[in-house]
Structure 1
Amino acid sequence: MYSWALFYDLNQIPAIMTKVALRRKPISKERLSLYLDFYPPIPHPDTGKLTRREFLGLFLFEKPKTQLEKHHNKETQALATNICAQRQLAIQNLNFGFLAKEKQKITLLDYYRKEAARHNGSNGQVWQSSLLYMQDFFSEGQKLFELTVADCNAYKDFLLHAKSQRCKRKAKISRNTAVSYFIKFKSTLKKAYREDLLKSDLNTKVSAIEPAETKREFLTLEELQALYGTDCPLPVLKKAAIFSALTGLRFSDIKKLTWREVQHSQAEGYYLQFRQQKTQGVELLPISEEALQLLGERGLPDTLVFDGLEYSAQNNNLLRDWVKTAGITKYITFHCFRHTYATLQLSHGTDIYTVSKLLGHRELKTTQIYAKVIDRSKREAANRITLKIT
């Protein structure tokens, strides 16, 4: 097979068309090694020297005897032909990254571990948890460069049926947990493609897992008032939770908030100017006088507003006990205070676009989940007035 692409020499002067030929070379055990022949030669990205060959690591049986050997030859020939066509397109765009052997040695798990290590806090814990399932499915020797769409889809199916790594009962992980883990896998693919570590943009070729619709628990205004009036064994946890309900901030952003980020101007009043931990987007969030009052006496610019606030199982238990003491029977986590802010804003007439901006959502559809909560609450309210009509 022959493919052609315009070749530029090292001085970027147009020369002649480069021919990419799929060739065979006899090797041991009556086999034929497949390789690509580039003429004129192309620059190697690792050394800068001109090269004419790329060995594909594929072989054919010279004289196939069995049906299995004939099938192998057919499939391998098709694969090699496809690679040859890909090389034509790459050379046409002066992209010679496919020859970078050092990049091809990088394993998927090593690359994913480095990605997971870049994240910290609660998001970092989710990355580390997702790594357990990556290690369970992929082998240590799986090269990132050799990853295929079929591999990615197989991993997706694995997550949808995977057993919990942490639960003693070995129950299946929830669908939305699988959604979260697969999103992190896809974001890793996206980054690897940008760095020329993948042959194709696998992220766009593999569909995400559709999330299951879940009930987003929130507090009513009366419940929030009752909670504010109830003592908590850890005062900083109470202050942070109520602040989240008044501002919509995530735990990760509250934990790292400094007094420098709490600002004031005549035009804007009081506001927070900070970088979201989750999206890394810079936000300017107006806050109420009440929210500011909750923070107490102002500290030094670079000190934490919520000094001593930590994410832990013990603190999660303290939060649940505090909620229970307030007479609230709902299952409330810290993130529910963000849900409470969004839901109360919508129920009090704030338009969904404004709520989306206040929450720092990149897409309006993320905020529309809360609109569904309001619709459900309206339905429940409508059913509260009943007559015994016969």
Structure 2
Amino acid sequence: MDIHHNGERWREFVKVNILNKDAAKSEKLRVIEKIRLNRELELLSDDTGYIPQQFKKLNFFIFADDYIKKYRNRDVRIIASSVEKFKESTNNPKLQISQITPAMMDSFKNYLIHDAGLSGETPHNYFTRFKKILKDAKIKGYLKEIPTEDIRFSNPNKDDSIKKQVLNALELQKLASTKCGNEEVKKAFLLACYTSLGLAEIRDLKWENINKSRLITKRKKTGELINNRLNLSALKILGEPKKRDDFIFNLQFISDNAVNKNIKNWSKRAELNKHLTFYCARHTFACLLLINGANLKTVADAMGHSSTKSTLKYLNYIQKLQDDAIDNLPTIEI
């Protein structure tokens, strides 16, 4: 194609071989003409802001899946999870890119904060990663404007989320001493408090991941390596080892909702006024390490964080505990 546009001239090759029989050659020429017309329409669209009809009708989730397959950064799992949450929020698997509006994105933001079962910084992380897909859609001409430009993400649970989700040593012992409706859930949750594992890793955990009192696996969300020593309490929770290919916990056929329901009822029996999830177990592990003298880099590695940036929130929480303890020292008259 010999292109003249905005005072410039260049060539683009359509990579179609037409040196064949007459019938095939004629058909290929028709294909080439269609490619030429589409390319002309794209160039006109760049100047006018017009979005071609075939772009508007593209299914968003097909576009998102293609984006995820080609994405090469380490946060790809978070992006994929954000798309799943968006699918839950919209409940429309046939959603077209052109149907994504600022109002829909504002609704998605509220869904992440209040209804998606997420906590802490996770809603904000999902929303931020999701915007990468929208930005790519705009770059490729599927969107005229990014529908999140005027949306501010303010998480009402941000400041106190860590405080609400951390178990201290006494609360941990209270849970351990309280009966749970599902003993597998109980053991899995307690092990998470000593290892940083989330529910996704716990489900897939096999005896081959335990080697000489060490836990060696990867985080599902980021792919980061976890290589943590298991203390005596963690080894006691695990019990006697079985075949290397056996799952450690029988949680493969129980839903996330059922797991969370078991934890909720267990927490009530233990008379803990906290909303417990496996996120809570991870937060507990990080804070207990810091309380017992671990440095920030050590905790980041144990949590499977790629940097200490995500770990700073735990250090801030520990500092708050220290400040509160100092404020509660007895007063004296001088």
1:253 aligned to which of 194, 201, 206: 201
Q: Residues 115 and 21 (structure 1 numbering): CA distance in 2 closer, same or farther, change over 3 Å?
A: closer
Q: Distance in 1 between matches of 2:154 and 2:328?
A: 33
1:21 aligned onto 2:5: yes
Deviation of 1:297 (Å): 1.5
2:97: which partner in 1?
A: 142
C-alpha separation in 2, matches of 1:215 and 1:176: 8
Residue 111 in structure 1 maps to residue 81 in structure 2: no
Per the TM alignment, residue 225 of structure 1 is displaced from its structure 2 partner at its CA by 1.6
What is the match of residue 42 of structure 1? 12
Percent of aligned pairs with the same amino acid: 21
Conserved in 2, the CA contact under 8 Å of 1:342 and 1:370? Answer: yes
Bigger Cα Rg: 1
Out of 140, 153, 175, the position equivalent to 1:198 is 140
Q: Which residue of 2 aligns with 1:213?
A: 159
Structure number with higher helix proportion:
2
Equivalents in 1 of 2:79, 2:188: separation in Å?
A: 18
TM-score by length of 2: 0.70
Q: CA deviation at 1:245?
A: 0.9
The residue number in structure 1 matching 2:301 is 357
Q: Which residue in the other structure is 1:286 paired with? A: 229
Q: Shift of the alpha carbon at 1:41?
A: 3.5
CA distance in 2 between partners of 1:360 and 1:221 (Å): 23
Q: Output the TM-score relative to the length of structure 1.
A: 0.61
1:51-101 deviation per Cα after TM superposition (whole angstroms, max 9, x unaligned): 876322687xxxxxxxxxxxxxxxx7xx41899xxxxxxxxxxxxxxxxx9
Partner of 1:335: 279
> Which sections of structure 1, spanning at least 5 residues, go unmatched?
1-6, 8-17, 24-37, 60-75, 84-100, 168-172, 265-269
Report if the CA contact (8 A) 2:217-2:225 is conserved: yes
| Residue in structure 1 matched with residue 74 of structure 2 by the alignment | none
2:172 to 213, 224, 237: 224
Structure 1 residue identity aligned to 2:196 = G
CA 1:330 to 1:316, structure 2 compared with 1: closer, same or farther past 3 Å?
A: same
TM-superposed deviation, 1:358: 0.4
> Structure 2 unaligned runs (5+)?
19-31, 70-76
RMSD across aligned positions (CA): 4.7
Aligned counterparts of 1:240 and 1:110: Cα–Cα separation in 2: 36
User: 1:272 deviation in Å?
Assistant: 2.0
- Name the residue aligned to 2:87: 131
Q: CA deviation at 1:108?
A: 1.9
Partner of residue 374, structure 1: 318
Q: Select the structure with the greater relative contact order (CA < 8 A; seq sep ≥ 6).
A: 2
One-letter amino acid of the counterpart of residue 182, structure 1: F
Amino acid at match of 1:242: L
Query: In the alignment, is the contact (CA less than 8 A) between 1:132 and 1:165 conserved in 2?
Result: no
